[in-house]
Chains A and B, each alone.
Chain A
Amino acid sequence: MKFTRTSLRGVPVAAATALAILAAPSAQAETEAPINIVINQSPWLEGFANVVDLYEEQTGNKVSLDVNPYAGSLEKQRNAVRAAESEYDILIVNGIFYPEMYQGGFLEPLTDIDPEFKLDPQIYTFDDTLWYDGKTKTVNRETGDLLTIPVNPNITMMFYRADLYEKYGLEIPETWDQLLANAKVIQEKEGIVGMMQRAARAAISISWDYWPYMNSYGGSLFRDESNGDFFVTLNSPESLEALKMYLKIANEVGPPNPAAMDQATLIQYLVTGQAAHAILPVAAQSQMDDPNKSAVVGKIGYMNLPHAPGHDSAPAIGHWLAGVPKNIPDENKKAALAFLSWFQKPETQIAYAEMGGSPVSAAAYESDFADKPENRYMITMRKALPTARRMWTIPEGAEIVAVTEVGLNRAVAGEISAVEALNSMAAEIEKIMRDAGYKTGRLPDLTE
């Protein structure tokens, strides 16, 4: 595998066990055209790079990874699909921005490349976000085309200090209030931060962190998006309760200046033993038990996200999807699909997990590998995945997230109240939707 603009340090570790499992004759002759994948820098990149190495080893085909920061990767993808010919053969698209790729008509339906292609039945379909119906402009498994294959299952989980839970006899919390109480106990007794939240502004940060709160209080962005009802309900009493709880946790058991906390800082606090809880994407687990990076090896446990009484846990989907651009030569499309077909196989998915990746197939989560103590996150994932919910499925997502990132962050920073934040965000989102031609509206303003 060739890296361009790589920021990875060191050579990806070849997983000997995985190679043994997939002991195909090594260094086969190249049968497909070389492909170029554009991908973002992330905690799960190393695992993905390892599985790409394995593909090259087994098939002899060549794959290059163009690794970029999050926003840079998105910009490169937009430029590539809007050019006469894309320089990338596979786009690794984020679960927030994929609708614009779908709606823009930039991705080739996978069965148009090979009519025989079928999605492996064990691959998770993440609220059916792999299919898109261009006529009705909706995510729809029944009537839509299969446009992507998931490559990473990023949903959020609660990372917590299992050793401190045992020390103080704490029970796994079901509700946010119980979580707050546990965080207070640990904060008082240990002098560490009770709970870290990803409240900083970024391309997508605090929105993804807040969404599970909102969902688990019964709030929503739109009244009924699945059925085409885009009436804005972000400023509902349920959303307000959720935001108040988010702020309460930030202010009572969070770090100083919680509005500046990004994902890297959350991980830093956890691995240095300075935080009791943090909501993080599953991919961050790879750093928790790494003795070179962590002072809390073996001490971190994983649990489903809490919820409000009477509601279900509802982590937000922030998965990554691999799609093939329309504007590349046919032989490259074929080569890209060959890689994706190989990637979705159950045995590849198990190898992907063994090499530090985050698999997207039930085959991996239900394998013996998942039951090993060091892979304890997989047990939590198994329970959490079916409850995960998508944030939105419309191409205006990029505009919406720009609004929610600022509004929510301003509330955490204390610039505006929770009510002002929700009212102003709802008004801005209503305008975005109206300008885009949707039939919309919004709830009456909340009052203080």
Chain B
Amino acid sequence: MAMLKASRRVKLFTVLPALLFLVLLSVLPLANLLALSFAKVTWAEGSATWTWEGLANYRALAEDALFKAGIVNTLILVVSATTLQVGLGLGLALICSRLGRSAKAYRTLFLLPILVPGIIIGAIWKLMYNTQFGVINQLLGLVGLGPFDWLGSSTLALASVIAVDVWHWTPFSFLLLLAAVEALPRDVFEAAQIDGAGSWRTFRRIVLPLLWPAIFTTFVFRAIIAFKVFDEVYLLTGGGPGTSTQVISFTIYQRFFVQDSAGYGAAMSIFVMFLVALVIGVAMTSQKARSR
């Protein structure tokens, strides 16, 4: 019994540094953000004053048109971009897994967009989308289409941002799904082949069910990252025209930093974190139920 107690103490002692780091790096900043979300910060005589606001900052969210537009556009972006990225990533992973020796070269090629810094992606796509001299309009012009104002038109701007996000982040899905595809047991496929299953049937009945956990995890990871989209919007459209590309991270940036409304920005951040956690929680629960 004494030995068991001692062993528990040793275990606790060994995880203590990690716990302290967790408290210092995650819990304390979050607690600070939470406290800030109930306050209003004003500056006078060179020093800050926190005034208790209760739930006023949270109540104000319901009336904030920019916040609502940010939530709606972010959800559209998350669902559409993530679905496309996972679909394309899966397709590329399956193709790559059958390429044999040349797979390495293709893998490197497919991964390139994820290695490009966001600021450069912004520059590249802003030039490509340019109404007057962008390569996309020039190519479309060859077949008598356009020119289109990809980033300046309210109807096209969000789709244009989503296209950039898909281009940028499909390699992420590809990488995760390629690992899963390469880990599939070969004997199952050999058995299916002996049983005379065609390609489509093999894909539907064997590949998809076996890959489902990986697809689900990839989808959730990508959705979490997509929820935080900022740089592409900041660099390409600044949230406009109107509120057509306003995403929630950009709204938080505007309220918290540009507008310097720290308390309100904190409330918005906490709400969004709660929303993301909720979505993840629901997804994980449904996945668990499905596995049972």
Query: Measuring CB to CB, which residues of chain A are less than 8 angstroms from any residue of chain B?
Result: 71, 74-75, 78, 81-82, 100, 103-106, 200-203, 256-257, 259-262, 326-327, 398-399, 402, 406, 409-410, 412-415, 424, 435
Contacts and interface: CB of A to CB of B under 8 A. Distances in A.
B259 interface: yes
Contacts of A435: 40
Contacts of A75: 257
A402 B257 CA distance: 11
A256 B243 contact: no
Given A256-B149, A424-B65, A409 B257 contact: no
Nearest to A437: B42
Given A402-B255, A415-B154, A200 B241 contact: yes
B50 to A, nearest CB: 14
Interface string B250-290: 00001101111100000000000000000000000000000
A260 B241 contact: yes
Interface in B148-192: 149, 151-154, 157
B81 interface: no
A256 B149 CA distance: 8
14 contacts: A105-B44, A201-B238, A201-B239, A256-B153, A257-B152, A259-B152, A259-B241, A260-B240, A402-B259, A406-B65, A406-B242, A410-B242, A412-B241, A415-B242
Contacts of B153: 256-257, 260
Contacts, number: 91
A100 to B, nearest CB: 7
B243 A406 contact: yes
B241 A413 contact: yes
Contact of A200 (B149, B240, B243, B257): B240
B46 interface: yes
A82 B48 contact: yes
Specify which of A260, A410, A424 lies most central, judged by the most chain B CB atoms within 10 Å of its CB: A260
Given A106-B46, A398-B260, A413 B238 contact: no
A319 B133 CA distance: 33
A432 to B, nearest CB: 9
Nearest to B66: A406
B244 A413 contact: yes
B43 interface: yes
B195 interface: no
Contacts of A81: 46
Nearest to B131: A256
Nearest to B40: A435
A325 to B, nearest CB: 9
Given A82-B48, A257-B152, A71 B258 contact: yes
B259 A259 contact: no
A203 B255 CA distance: 11
A326 B46 contact: yes
Nearest to B255: A402
Which 3 pairs, one residue from A and one from B, show the smallest C-beta to C-beta distance? A260-B152, A413-B242, A259-B241
Given A257-B152, A402-B255, A415-B154, A103 B240 contact: no
A409 B44 contact: no
Contacts of A262: 238
Given A201-B240, A410-B243, A435-B40, 11 more contacts: A104-B44, A201-B239, A257-B149, A260-B151, A260-B241, A261-B152, A398-B259, A402-B258, A412-B242, A413-B154, A424-B65
A448 B223 CA distance: 42
Nearest to A81: B46
